[in-house]
Amino acid sequence: MITFQELKRSFFISLWFVFLTFPIMVIRVDSIEKTVQWRWMNMLYVAVGAFILSLIFRYMMRRKEGQSADDDEETSTSDQHLIHRWLTVPRYRNIIYGVMLTLALVLPLVFSTYQTSIMTTALLYVVLGLGLNIVVGLAGLLDLGYVAFYAVGAYTYALLYHFFGMSFWIVLPLGGMLAAVFGILLGIPVLRLRGDYLAIVTLGFGEIIRLILENWGEFSQGPSGVSNIPRPSFFGIDMSLDTALIYIYYLMIAFVIFTIFIVNRLQNSRLGRAWVALREDEIACQAMGIDKMKTKLAAFSLGAFWAGIAGVIFAAKTTFISPRSFTFIESAIILSIVVLGGMGSIIGVIIGAMVLILLPEYLRFLSEYRMLAFGAILVCMMVFRPQGIIASVRRTYTYNKKETADGEGA
Amino acid sequence: MLKLEKVQSGYGNILAVKGISLEVNDGEIITLIGANGAGKSTTLLTISGIVPCRSGRILLKGEEIQSLESDAIVKKGVVQVPEGRHIFPQLSVQENLDMGAFMRTDPRKVKDDLDYVYSLFPILKERRHQDGGTLSGGEQQMLAMSRALMARPQLLLLDEPSMGLAPLIIKQIFEIIQKINQESNTTIFLVEQNANLALQVANRGYVLENGKITISGSAKSLLENQDIRKAYLGL
Ligand SMILES: Nc1ncnc2c1ncn2[C@@H]1O[C@H](COP(=O)(O)OP(=O)(O)O)[C@@H](O)[C@H]1O
Ligand SMILES: [Mg+2]
């Protein structure tokens, strides 16, 4: 079952890990008593742990390869395909959606406000993920500065409230629109670039926005951020903190449903098809008369729109924002949600957001090893499921039927 | 229909098309032949507005189009089948065809055109739910041509339709090119390396060498021209 070769490689890997982790795991300098502790037991743990993990990893890899080797028509009933089939049958799809919605609706009644609040954050990332999915998943434009639009939304609310006392409900669409305008402004010069170049420029843009917010004190209150941002109101009723958080949670559910509805519509629209076509072959698109620039700009600004909306909600939820909430790592997390969930797939993005936002929370029992475990899980997921948790389900083509019916009716 | 006047274009600091002038009349098949790297594809891409025109004029029915964007040029009825076919590999045959009709606003006529291209290439109808990338080379060429036809071109630009195909398939495709030209009165601008084949279906031809047109005339006269026979027909 386990070959000698695998044992040998695992042994070397454990040696390598011991070497890598030696300074942090074994040596401890006690700066008060000025002594050095040598924790040799830790070295043993690392060695054994790495050895076993490596063996498991190798075993899984071998199984996976074996699977894809005899992946004929027969084995296409694997779980991936099963999920696909479920999602394409409307009845099953509705049942899945129904169950998810019910679970989401009863959650605050069952769990604590703390849990609900974490869930709200996860839902916020669902919206962000769905927005970025338009840009990266559908249009194939690698945007590493997506967080900038999120910041634009958040600061729109914070500052419009701060300077003009404008309310959440008025700013919500404004924040989205302003972010979309920023999307267009950035898009015009940048979208001529492709692939890696586009990624680098958007990365730079993300940092520029953050640096402006950090350094333009009179405008954005600098690094100390904006505080005392009001939560969304509900016909002017005063709410306790708990109720307010639960209220935001339900608002968030509504936003997520709205976003899914719109993104789904977009995906199957003429524009959505143009995005996919543009991702596949630019020359062909030009030869077919698709306006490359306009189509890309539409993807960029629509993606930015959702980030702006999410930003406004974020500001209202946390009541305090500062440039530190909008660092590159945020862009990276949102991108991971899209990639991990399955590019171009709505359900995938939802699950991706849940995994990426909730997992670190529920790994808290691992205390300082939390992020280590998180990283390891991500690596494993990408190795074993590179297409994402749920790869995009392509809608079956219905155009012809409709047209035929149309033609016969006439 | 189409007229090029001293057109120059290229990439970066490479000038690939060095001031060419040519004319395409209504309803004819003209061909541009030349060796690999002569600038044939660049000429077509410049007409379509995909590679910008650096100087000179491109006139479509007397109207200047050299500064228009590629989508505007397609709307004016100039549609290209690019070299290497460029079908959408992950879209089905039918979706590919639908992309061809992307900028059309008359769904009923689109449906007629779909039936028409399926009658030209029945194999595509059989394969309509298959992904474009899984088709054979010949089928992909048929798909690329059909997709262009879905845009209702008045002028169809074909870039090396015979590239990499078996002789029998090439014959079939060239028959259909003539059929398209006659049946739907589509003017055809055919770029080919296979000069013999191209000159047999074309009315007139131009020879491109190093970005310049060196010889032009009726297809018949070119087929008889000694220089061309030596350089391009291998006779
Ligand atoms: N994308 C490109 N970038 C830079 N140079 C190119 C590009 N495409 C073509 N060229 C150059 O332009 C010249 C003409 O190429 P092309 O028009 O493709 O010739 P043909 O179609 O006649 O084989 C060649 O020298 C080629 O190397
Ligand atoms: Mg060429």
Prediction pTM value: 0.80
- pLDDT value at residue A175: 95
Instruction: Count the Cβ atoms, other than its own, within 10 Å of residue B29.
Output: 24
Say how far apart CA A271 and CA A294 lie, in whole Å: 10
Query: Amino acid letter at A347?
Result: I
Ligand closest to Cα of B33 equals 1
- pLDDT value at residue A68: 59
A16-20, A161-165, A264-268, A402-406: least confident range: A402-406
Say how far apart CA B86 and CA A122 lie, in whole Å: 40
Tell whether A192 lies on the interface with B, counting CB pairs under 8 A: no
How much of chain B, in percent, has pLDDT values that exceed 70?
Answer: 99
- pLDDT value at residue A69: 56
CA distance A192 to chain B (A): 13
- pLDDT value at residue A29: 83
Q: How far is the CA of A158 from the centre of ligand 2 (A)?
A: 56
Q: How far is the CA of B42 from the centre of ligand 1 (A)?
A: 6
Q: Residue B81: its chain A contacts at CB < 8 A?
A: 287
Which residue puts its alpha carbon closest to atom 20 of ligand 1? B37
pLDDT for residue A241 is more than 60: yes
**Full DSSP string of chain B:** -EEEEEEEEEETTEEEEEEEEEEE-TT-EEEEE--TTSSHHHHHHHHTTSS---EEEEEETTEE-TTS-HHHHHHTTEEEE-TT----TTSBHHHHHHHHTTT---HHHHHHHHHHHHHH-HHHHHTTTSBGGGS-HHHHHHHHHHHHHTT--SEEEEE-TTTT--HHHHHHHHHHHHHHHHHS--EEEEEES-HHHHHHH-SEEEEEETTEEEEEEEHHHHHH-HHHHHHTS--
Q: Report the Cα B6 to chain-centroid distance in Å.
A: 20
pLDDT by residue, tens only, chain B of 235 residues: 999 999 999 998 999 999 999 999 999 999 999 999 999 999 999 999 999 999 999 999 999 999 999 999 999 999 999 999 899 988 889 999 999 998 888 888 999 999 999 999 999 999 989 999 899 999 999 999 999 999 999 999 999 999 989 999 999 999 999 999 998 889 999 999 888 889 999 999 999 999 999 999 999 999 888 888 888 777 6
Cross-sheet strand order for the sheet of B63-64: B14-24, B2-11, B55-60, B63-64
What region, left, alpha or beta, does residue A182 occupy, with left being phi > 0 and alpha being psi -120 to 50 degrees? alpha
Contact A226, A160 (CB under 8 A): no
Q: What is the mean pLDDT of residues A165-180?
A: 93
Beta bridge partners of B60: B2, B63
What confidence tier does A302 reach under pLDDT thresholds 50, 70, 90?
Answer: very high
CA distances to A96, A205, A314, B161, B171 from B138, rounded to whole Å, are 43, 45, 54, 9, 11
Task: Return the C-alpha torsion angle A345, A351, A356, A359, nearest 10.
Answer: -170
Q: Which residue has the higher pLDDT, A34 or B29?
A: B29
Residues of B with CB under 8 A from a CB of A: 48-50, 69-71, 73-75, 79-82, 86-92, 94-95, 98-100, 102-103, 107-108, 110-111, 114, 128-129, 147-148, 151
CATH number for the domain that contains residue B211: 3.40.50.300
Ligand closest to Cα of B42 equals 1
Contact B9, B2 (CB under 8 A): no
- Say whether both B138 and B164 belong to one domain: no
Say how far apart CA A158 and CA A200 lie, in whole Å: 29
> Among candidates A315, A358, A339, A298, which has minimal Cα distance to A150?
A315
- pLDDT value at residue B104: 86
User: Is B34 near ligand 1, meaning CB less than 6 Å away?
Assistant: yes
> Among candidates B108, B173, B103, which has minimal Cα distance to B137?
B173
Domain that holds residue B52: 1-75+160-235
- pLDDT value at residue A90: 73
Which residue puts its alpha carbon closest to atom 7 of ligand 1? B11
> Among candidates A286, A366, A381, which has minimal Cα distance to A336?
A381
Please answer yes or no on whether A284 and B87 come within 8 Å at the CB atom. yes
Please answer yes or no on whether A399 and B151 come within 8 Å at the CB atom. no
- Say whether both B196 and B218 belong to one domain: yes
- pLDDT value at residue A65: 75
Contact A177, A246 (CB under 8 A): no
Q: Which of B103, B128, B152 marks a domain boundary?
A: B152
Angle between the N-to-C axes of helices A90-110 and A241-267, in degrees from 0 to 180, rounded to the nearest 10 = 170
Buried b (16+ CB within 10 A) or exposed e, B112-124: ebbeebbebbeeb
Q: Measure CB to CB from residue A290 to each of B81, B89, B102 and give the nearest one.
A: B102
- pLDDT value at residue A85: 64
Say how far apart CA A278 and CA A258 lie, in whole Å: 26
User: Is B38 near ligand 1, meaning CB less than 6 Å away?
Assistant: yes
Counted domains in chain B: 2
User: Is B41 near ligand 1, meaning CB less than 6 Å away?
Assistant: yes
- Chain A segment 279-308 residues within 8 A of B by beta carbon are 280-281, 283-293
What confidence tier does A391 reach under pLDDT thresholds 50, 70, 90?
Answer: low
- pLDDT value at residue A280: 86
pLDDT for residue A228 is more than 70: yes
- pLDDT value at residue A242: 82
pLDDT for residue A251 is more than 60: yes
pLDDT for residue A371 is more than 80: no
Give the count of alpha carbons within 13 A of A70, CB side only.
Answer: 6
| Domain coordinates in residue numbering, chain A | 4-65, 90-384
A25-29, A63-67, A93-97: least confident range: A63-67
- Say whether both B88 and B189 belong to one domain: no
- Say whether both B109 and B218 belong to one domain: no
What confidence tier does A309 reach under pLDDT thresholds 50, 70, 90?
Answer: very high
Q: What is the mean pLDDT of residues A59-85?
A: 60
A92-101, A140-149, A335-344, A365-374: least confident range: A365-374
**Cα angle value A207/A213/A216 (rounded, 5°):** 125
In terms of Cβ atoms closer than 10 Å to its own Cβ (0-12, 13-18, 19+), residue A360 is middle
Q: How far is the CA of A217 from the centre of ligand 1 (A)?
A: 53
Average pLDDT, chain A: 83
Q: Residue B151: its chain A contacts at CB < 8 A?
A: 288-289
Q: Which residue has the higher pLDDT, A243 or B42?
A: B42
Q: What is the mean pLDDT of residues A307-336?
A: 92
User: Which secondary-structure segment (H or E) carries A151?
Assistant: helix A147-164
pLDDT for residue A404 is more than 50: no
Q: Measure CB to CB from residue B94 to each of A277, A397, A407 and give the nearest one.
A: A397
Q: What is the mean pLDDT of residues A35-45?
A: 85
Please answer yes or no on whether B88 and A407 come within 8 Å at the CB atom. no
Q: Report the Cα A269 to chain-centroid distance in Å.
A: 23
Q: What is the mean pLDDT of residues A199-226?
A: 88
pLDDT for residue A144 is more than 80: yes
- pLDDT value at residue A392: 64
Structure-block tokens of residue A209: 């926005």
To test the contact with chain A by mutation, choose from B86, B129, B158 the residue with the greatest count of A C-beta atoms within 10 A, namely: B86
Q: Which of B127, B152, B177 marks a domain boundary?
A: B152
pLDDT for residue A72 is more than 80: no
Buried b (16+ CB within 10 A) or exposed e, A89-117: eeeeeeeeeeeeeeebeebbeeeeeebbb
3-class SS of residue A332: helix
pLDDT for residue A272 is more than 80: yes
Structure-block tokens of residue A255: 């936003």
Query: Amino acid letter at A209?
Result: I
- pLDDT value at residue B187: 95
Q: What is the mean pLDDT of residues A86-93?
A: 72
- pLDDT value at residue B225: 86
Say how far apart CA A38 and CA B5 lie, in whole Å: 83
Q: Which atom of ligand 1 is nearest to the CA of B40?
A: 22
- Say whether both B144 and B173 belong to one domain: no
- Say whether both B125 and B141 belong to one domain: yes
Residue of A nearest to B77 (CA): A289
pLDDT for residue A409 is more than 70: no
Residue of A nearest to B74 (CA): A289
Q: Which atom of ligand 1 is nearest to the CA of B12?
A: 4
Instruction: Count the Cβ atoms, other than its own, within 10 Å of residue B69.
Output: 17
What confidence tier does A121 reach under pLDDT thresholds 50, 70, 90?
Answer: very high
Mutate which of B36, B42, B83, B193 for ligand 1 pocket (most atoms within 8 A of beta carbon): B42
Structure-block tokens of residue B214: 């060196």
User: Is B42 near ligand 1, meaning CB less than 6 Å away?
Assistant: yes
- pLDDT value at residue A82: 63
Q: From the CA atom positions of chain B, what is the Rg in Å?
A: 17
Q: Residue A292: its chain B contacts at CB < 8 A?
A: 70-71
pLDDT for residue A396 is more than 50: no
Ligand closest to Cα of B208 equals 1
- pLDDT value at residue A84: 64
ipTM value, please give it: 0.86
Contact A144, A136 (CB under 8 A): no
Q: How far is the CA of B194 from the centre of ligand 2 (A)?
A: 12
Say how far apart CA A321 and CA A349 lie, in whole Å: 25
Q: Which atom of ligand 1 is nearest to the CA of B208?
A: 22
Q: Which of B152, B180, B200 marks a domain boundary?
A: B152
